Amino acid sequence: MYKLITLLLITLTASAQMPIPALIPAPQTLEPGKGTFVITAQTRLAILTPVADIRRMVIDNLPGIPTSDAPKLTKAITVRLAPIAGVGPEGYDLVVTHAGITLTAPQAAGLFYGLQTMRQLMPVAKTFRGQSVPALHIRDQPRFGWRGLMLDVSRHFFDKAFVKRYIDQMAQYKFNVFHWHLTDDQGWRIQINSLPKLTEVGAWRVPRTGSWNEIESPQAGEVPSYGGFYTQDDIREVVQYAQQRNITIVPEIDMPGHMMAAIAAYPGLTCGKKQVLVPTNGKFYKLEDNTLNPCSYGTYLFIDKVLTEVAKLFPGPYIHIGGDEAYKGFWATCEECKTTMTVNNLKTVEELQSYFIRRVEKIVQSKGKKLIGWDEILEGGLAPNATVMSWRGMKGGIEAAKQGHPVIMTPAQFCYLDLYQGEPSAEPSTYSMARLSTSYSFEPVPDSVRADLILGGQGNLWTESVPNNRHAEYMTWPRAFAIAEVLWSPKNQRNWPDFMKRVEAHFKRFDTQEVNYALSVYNPIVTLKKHPMGMMEVTLGHELPDTYLYYSVDNTVPDDHFPLYTQPFQMPKGAERIKVIAYRNGKPIGKMVDVIIPKVVEKKVQ
Separation CA 338–CA 151 (nearest Å) = 37
Looking at the structure, do residues 449 and 550 belong to the same domain, yes or no?
A: no
What is the SS3 assignment for 256?
A: coil
Confidence (pTM): 0.95
Res 3 pLDDT > 70 = no
Looking at the structure, do residues 263 and 382 belong to the same domain, yes or no?
A: yes
pLDDT, tens digit, 9 for 90 and up, residues 371-407: 999 999 999 999 999 999 999 999 999 999 999 999 9
Q: Give the pLDDT band of residue 13 (cuts 50, 70, 90).
A: very low
With 0-12 CB in 10 A as exposed, 13-18 as middle and 19+ as buried, what is 165? Answer: middle
Q: Is residue 478 part of a domain?
A: yes
Looking at the structure, do residues 479 and 503 belong to the same domain, yes or no?
A: yes
Residues 6+ apart with CB under 8 A from 50: none
Asked if 550 and 565 count as a contact pair (C-beta separation under 8 A), the reply is yes
H/E run at residue 509 = helix 496-513
The domain spanning residue 560 has which CATH number?
Answer: 2.60.40
Asked if 106 and 83 count as a contact pair (C-beta separation under 8 A), the reply is yes
Asked if 160 and 238 count as a contact pair (C-beta separation under 8 A), the reply is yes
Res 5 pLDDT > 80 = no
End residue of a domain, out of 455, 481, 516: 516
Strand partners, 190: 230
**What's the mean pLDDT in 310-315?**
99
Looking at the structure, do residues 93 and 208 belong to the same domain, yes or no?
A: no
Looking at the structure, do residues 128 and 201 belong to the same domain, yes or no?
A: no
Separation CA 588–CA 606 (nearest Å) = 46
Looking at the structure, do residues 383 and 498 belong to the same domain, yes or no?
A: yes
What single-letter amino acid sits at 473? E
Tally of domains within the chain: 3
Looking at the structure, do residues 133 and 252 belong to the same domain, yes or no?
A: no
Q: Is residue 605 part of a domain?
A: no
The dihedral formed by the CA atoms of 580, 585, 588 and 589, expressed in degrees to the nearest 10: -90
**What's the mean pLDDT in 516-543?**
94
Looking at the structure, do residues 485 and 377 belong to the same domain, yes or no?
A: yes
Looking at the structure, do residues 104 and 245 belong to the same domain, yes or no?
A: no
Q: Is residue 350 part of a domain?
A: no
What single string gives the DSSP state of each residue in 31-92? EEEEEEEE--TT-EEEEE---HHHHHHHHHHSTT--B---SS-SSEEEEEE---TT--TT-E
Bridge-based pairing state of the strands 29-38 and 76-81: unpaired
- CA-closest candidate to residue 377, choices 400, 347, 408, 404: 400
**What φ, ψ does residue 582 adopt, rounded to 5°?**
-100, 145
Q: Is residue 116 part of a domain?
A: yes
For residue 2, what pLDDT is reported?
41
End residue of a domain, out of 489, 516, 543: 516
End residue of a domain, out of 474, 492, 516: 516
* DSSP-derived secondary structure letter, 174: T
Q: Which domain holds residue 507?
A: 146-325+360-516
Angle between helices 160-172 and 469-476 in degrees, nearest 10: 20
Which entry of 222, 237, 325, 399 is annotated as an active-site residue?
325
Q: Is residue 1 part of a domain?
A: no
**Averaged pLDDT of the chain:** 95
Looking at the structure, do residues 464 and 545 belong to the same domain, yes or no?
A: no
pLDDT, tens digit, 9 for 90 and up, residues 468-520: 999 999 999 999 999 999 999 999 999 999 999 999 999 999 999 999 999 99
Q: Where are the alpha helices (DSSP H) in 314-408?
A: 329-332, 335-343, 349-366, 395-402
**Is residue 256 reached through a cis peptide bond, with omega within 30 degrees of 0 on the bond before it?**
yes
Looking at the structure, do residues 154 and 111 belong to the same domain, yes or no?
A: no
Q: Is residue 447 part of a domain?
A: yes
For residue 534, what pLDDT is reported?
77
pLDDT, tens digit, 9 for 90 and up, residues 346-375: 999 999 999 999 999 999 999 999 999 999
Q: Where are the alpha helices (DSSP H) in 62-212?
A: 108-120, 160-172, 197-200
Strand partners, 457: 147, 409
Q: Is 537 an annotated catalytic residue?
A: no
* DSSP-derived secondary structure letter, 353: H
pLDDT, tens digit, 9 for 90 and up, residues 415-451: 999 999 999 999 999 999 999 999 999 999 999 899 9
Other beta carbons less than 10 A from residue 2's beta carbon:
6
The dihedral formed by the CA atoms of 381, 383, 388 and 394, expressed in degrees to the nearest 10: 20
* DSSP-derived secondary structure letter, 230: B
Separation CA 598–CA 576 (nearest Å) = 8
Separation CA 432–CA 452 (nearest Å) = 31
What single-letter amino acid sits at 16? A
Looking at the structure, do residues 171 and 76 belong to the same domain, yes or no?
A: no
Residues 565-576: b if buried by 16+ CB within 10 A, e if exposed: beeebebeeeee
Q: Where are the alpha helices (DSSP H) in 446-495?
A: 469-476, 479-488
The domain spanning residue 39 has which CATH number?
Answer: 3.30.379.10
The dihedral formed by the CA atoms of 117, 122, 128 and 133, expressed in degrees to the nearest 10: -90
Q: Give the pLDDT band of residue 179 (cuts 50, 70, 90).
A: very high
Q: Is residue 601 part of a domain?
A: no
- CA-closest candidate to residue 112, choices 164, 63, 60, 163: 60
Q: Is residue 199 part of a domain?
A: yes
